[in-house]
């Protein structure tokens, strides 16, 4: 029997855009890096918890939404939580949430909220089944605060490129 060791902190090549991705915590600010900071695509690698790398699927996961991580701190009622990416597996439709990394493309993150209404409705149903509350365009102030800080001054319009 062969033992297969998978280094969860190894640099990798994105299977979606072919970019070389650094998994080093100093660059990304996250411990278990499995999504590309350029296109935000991930791979279906974790099964039970972040970093376990036990999922057999290993297929691409598209960035389909944003959510706020629920806080375990009972005193954090006024703090909506950490901004998280929602990914959906292109093969099995499994959903997962991943931390936003320090080097993730901010414009790509903002663009996630600009989805077609019909696609968003179906996604909301799937997410509700797993107790994931998706952010919508009405949550833009929260998103901007998480991305740019609490002192962010909103410009009249955010221009999305790409």
Dihedral, 139, 146, 101, 94 alpha carbons, nearest 10? -20
**Nearest Cα to 67, choosing from 90, 48, 88, 92?**
88
**Nearest Cα to 141, choosing from 153, 124, 127, 132?**
153
Q: Does residue 14 surpass a pLDDT of 60?
A: yes
pLDDT band at residue 120 under the 50/70/90 scheme: low
Token pair of 92, please? 């099995």
pLDDT band at residue 156 under the 50/70/90 scheme: very low
Cβ-count burial of 147 within 10 angstroms (0-12 exposed, 13-18 middle, 19+ buried)? middle
Residue 144: in which H helix or E strand, if any?
A: helix 140-148
What is the chain's length?
162
Q: Does residue 21 surpass a pLDDT of 50?
A: yes
Is the distance from CB of 88 to CB of 129 less than 8 angstroms? Answer: no
Average pLDDT over residues 123-151: 81
Residue 159 half-sphere exposure toward CB, CA atoms < 13 A: 1
Lowest mean pLDDT among 26-35, 105-114, 118-127, 143-152: 118-127
Top-ranked range on mean pLDDT: pick from 83-87, 112-116, 121-125, 155-159: 83-87
- % helix / strand / coil in the chain, to the nearest 5? 20, 20, 60
Higher-confidence position of 126 and 111: 111
Radius of gyration of the chain measured on its C-alpha atoms: 16
Q: What is the pLDDT of residues 39-52, one digit of tens each?
A: 999 988 877 877 77
């Amino acid at each position: 029997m062969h033992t297969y060791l998978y280094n969860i902190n190894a640099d990798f090549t994105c299977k979606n855009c072919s970019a070389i991705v650094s998994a080093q915590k100093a660059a990304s600010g996250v411990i278990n890096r499995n999504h590309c900071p350029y296109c935000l695509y991930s791979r279906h690698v974790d099964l039970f918890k972040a970093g376990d790398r036990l999922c057999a699927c290993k297929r691409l996961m598209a960035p389909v939404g944003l959510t706020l991580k629920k806080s375990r701190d009972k005193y954090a009622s006024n703090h909506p939580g950490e901004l998280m990416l929602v990914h959906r597996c292109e093969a099995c439709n499994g959903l997962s949430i991943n931390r936003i990394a320090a080097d993730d493309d901010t414009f790509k993150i903002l663009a996630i909220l600009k989805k077609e209404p019909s696609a968003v409705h179906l996604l909301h149903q799937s997410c509700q089944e797993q107790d994931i509350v998706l952010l919508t365009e009405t949550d833009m102030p929260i998103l901007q605060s998480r991305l740019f800080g609490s002192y962010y001054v909103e410009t009249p319009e955010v221009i999305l490129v790409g």
